[in-house]
A and B are shown apart, each in its own frame.
Chain A
Amino acid sequence: MFGWEFPPHNSGGLGTACFGLTRALAGRNIEVIFVLPKKVGVSSSYAKMVFADERRVTFHEVASSLKPYVTSEGYIRERDAFLRDIYGNTLLQEVRRYALRAREIAKKEHFDVIHAHDWLSFLAGLEAKRVSGKPLILHMHATEFDRTGGQGVNQEVYDIERSAMEQADGIIAVSNFTKQKIVEHYGIPAHKIEVIHNGIDECDYADIPERLMEIKRSGQKIVLFAGRITIQKGPEYFIRAAQRVLEHNPNVLFLVAGSGDMERQIMLEAAHLGISDRVIFVGFLRGNDLNAVYKAADLFVMPSVSEPFGITPLESIIAGAPVLISKQSGVSEVLTHALKTDFWDTEDMANKILGVVSHRSLWQTLWGNSREEVKKVTWDTASKKCIDYYARVLCGGM
């Protein structure tokens, strides 16, 4: 399995998903060799902590001090030159280095299926397929169209995604929403794509500390945004909805947990709208810091412009806050007990936020039902579907 990040050194949902799926696969007696590009990615003590008793998972970390990547394969060389010239940043160099090391690892290790997560590991997956002849399954956690909100799609990234999907033996999409995108934007036939929704394991969310209790005791309501402050996550819609809510009820506090390239812009927007004192930027949070904020919140809002899945609403529900999610999200396919909105409809968003903060009965019903629903959305279910799909791909029956 080729990944890019792994908890606790993850910047988002991809690492969480890789961790959850790997652990569940190990639980179903699938031996996983998880390859990460960087030494810093996973500390061995952490890996031992989680998998000490079940040694089915082996971690391979690729040293980052590699020589420039040269390959006899024409297509890679061509792309290399192309990418270096135009994109020219370290991210793509990393991706290429990763592919080089992947080839060596694939020669040494024994495995039946190659499973690569997101475009960053796709070249690695392709190299492994080339040298081993084993089937390659790509796991699409996001497409370039989601990451960019459809604006300014990076052609190189798109090309990697597209050509990898064309060469792969099978594709897993994290939602029907994503499958649809792959079919529409990449011209991949629908029958080549299997939808496997992400999951969540409750046991990872025990003993969440209580924080922000002073605010709650003062009778203020807390509405939370948690995610990268980037165009994909729709933070500006959150701020606009906040303004509408505050016009009606000034006793609501809006928390923004996360960081990203739009952080400054969003802060200025809040100031411009005159609501800076009611919008608190708490920075990037992880682990129990993030869980504590979920728990303190009265409502979690995910106004994503395009969200292939979105694990954060599931985390929020387990931690204690019901959710308002964008209809343009994969998670809305598995959550019926959620408030849903179009990301651009800030009036509707504000109306629903006010509904939750004004009516305790709505909060109780919504959270209570969603809490039950999330219990069924497990990584074990996802891993079972993965294993079935491996079997089908191995039989060539997809």
Chain B
Amino acid sequence: MASICFYFQVHQPFRVKDYRVFDIGNDSEYFNDNSERSINNKKILEKVAGKCYLPANAVILELLNKHPEFKASFSFSGVFLEQLEMFSPETLKSFQKLVATGRVEVLEETYYHSLSFLYSPEEFRRQVALHREKVKKLFGVTPTIFRNTELIYNNALAHEVEKMGYKGIIAEGADHVLGWRSPNFLYRPQGTKKLKLLLKNYRLSDDIAFRFSSRDWADFPLTAPKFAEWASQVNGNGNVINLFMDYETFGEHQWEDTGIFNFLRHLPEEIYKHPDNDFVTPSEAVARYDTVAELDVHHFMSWADVERDLSAWLSNPMQHDALDTVYKLEEDVLASGDEKLIDDWRRLQTSDHFYYMCTKWFNDGDVHKYFNPYNTPYEAFIAYMNALQDLKLRTTRKSDLGMKANVKSGKKVTKSVQKPVVKKKK
């Protein structure tokens, strides 16, 4: 039996505008670029909705109607869902329609698509809870499978996720972790009792996500029958083929004229030509298949770049500085009790901000550059740190006000703080 397990990641960050040092103290709207640049969040969301989300959802719905056994799963970041509510309610409705069929599963992740697990387990749990609420509210379902930002994973995360009550967790089927073992089985994360680990079959996933339209690829053009044949070869030496990819693969990374939608449209019927094949959601895979071995993942892995590690977000001094700085504010920001301030702080935790600062292969014009809305990683850093400086100032003002209010009870404090001051702890 070879079960195809589709999981599509759907995420859009709140990109920081060209926030200049002179804006600090004067402008607390960090995400409202309204230029023609690709840091205009509304414009990007509308563009991707038109090119990808709406047409791809139409194809998925068509497949659900045509094949009663067809299934798929999605993981939506909270900041993505929020942007749908703000900029494209129509797209939100089309996703809700898919989930309403009962054959489309929604996965759990951190609301802010953050790296919080690396910096603050408490903040991580809070963001997962926020995501849970959001999914329940918009889709009426409660996820049982967890996927962390960018498939960042290690044993410690698995332990935490098991404690939180999830049945399964998703990760990259990285060679350096699997070795000779196959990603087409379920594994038991080292040290867990019940949690099951689903690993991405990155070869077959990337055939669709990255190589589909590549003319340099020996197997170009990729057709549905060809792909179904490769998938069927897993029969007898695997249980589940995890095809995990960004949903933007359909129509945004691979444009419509590459034939990607037709490929998707015809894939299920080709898969079904082999009687032993079917489609499962992650929770079904977890329910149906046993784990074959324990997998020990001590160091963090992810699905990014060839390294499949954390280097896309944490490899140069700017990235470390930015992440350290944002998480250092945790206590004071939360203590402020100011919802807008807390929300802005969390939006600044989204992993994309740090990805844009990556300089690893910047000069080779690679994928990082393609996905970077800023001219250079340095500009991304400058805008981010300026915004963070303003957030810090807002936090200080809040706590100063609080302190003064306590001292001079009843007296209104009118003098505002002009310059960012490092808060002194008593």
Contact = CB atoms under 8 A, between A and B. Distances in A.
Contacts of A373: 363
Contacts of A350: 21-22
A347 interface: yes
Contact of B378 (A339, A347, A348, A354): A339
Is the contact region of chain A dominated by helix, strand, or loop, or is it mixed?
helix
A339 B317 contact: no
Interface in A169-191: none
Interface in A199-237: none
A192 interface: no
Given A244-B22, A365-B318, A339 B381 contact: no
B376 A355 contact: no
B66 interface: no
Nearest to B20: A351
A347 B22 CA distance: 9
28 contacts: A248-B22, A336-B362, A337-B359, A337-B362, A337-B363, A340-B376, A350-B21, A350-B22, A351-B20, A351-B22, A351-B382, A352-B378, A355-B21, A358-B21, A359-B318, A359-B385, A360-B317, A360-B321, A361-B317, A361-B318, A361-B321, A362-B385, A364-B316, A364-B318, A365-B318, A365-B377, A365-B378, A373-B363
Contact of A336 (B317, B318, B363, B381): B363
A365 B20 contact: no
A369 interface: yes
A366 interface: yes
A347 B362 contact: no
Contacts of B22: 244, 248, 347, 350-351
Interface string A313-339: 000000000000000000000001111
B362 A359 contact: no
B97 interface: no
Given A351-B20, A355-B21, A339 B318 contact: no
A372 B362 CA distance: 12
A361 B320 contact: yes
Given A352-B382, A365-B317, A339 B363 contact: no
Contacts of A364: 316-318
Interface in B1-41: 20-22
Contacts of B359: 337, 365, 369
Interface string B144-160: 00000000000000000
Contacts of B409: none
Given A361-B317, A365-B317, A369-B359, A355 B375 contact: no
A300 to B, nearest CB: 15
Contacts of B21: 248, 350-351, 354-355, 358
Given A337-B363, A337-B376, A351-B22, 20 more contacts: A337-B359, A338-B376, A340-B375, A348-B20, A351-B386, A355-B378, A355-B381, A358-B21, A359-B381, A361-B316, A361-B318, A361-B322, A361-B381, A362-B382, A364-B318, A365-B378, A366-B378, A369-B362, A369-B363, A373-B363
B359 to A, nearest CB: 5
A339 B376 contact: yes
A329 to B, nearest CB: 15
Interface in B358-414: 359, 362-363, 375-379, 381-382, 385-386
Interface string A363-376: 01110110001000
Contacts of B320: 361
Nearest to A376: B363
Contacts of B318: 359, 361-362, 364-365
A396 B244 CA distance: 56
B362 to A, nearest CB: 6
A358 B325 CA distance: 13
A360 B320 CA distance: 12
Nearest to B362: A336
B362 A362 contact: no
B261 to A, nearest CB: 35
Contacts of B382: 351-352, 355, 362
Contacts of A359: 318, 321, 381, 385
Given A359-B321, A361-B317, A336 B376 contact: yes
A339 B386 CA distance: 16
Contacts of B20: 347-348, 351
Contacts of B363: 336-337, 369, 373
B25 to A, nearest CB: 11
A369 B358 CA distance: 11
A248 B386 CA distance: 13
Q: Which 10 A-B pairs have the closest CB atoms?
A: A361-B321, A355-B382, A361-B317, A336-B363, A351-B20, A364-B317, A365-B316, A365-B318, A354-B21, A361-B318
A374 to B, nearest CB: 11
A365 B321 CA distance: 11
Nearest to A334: B363
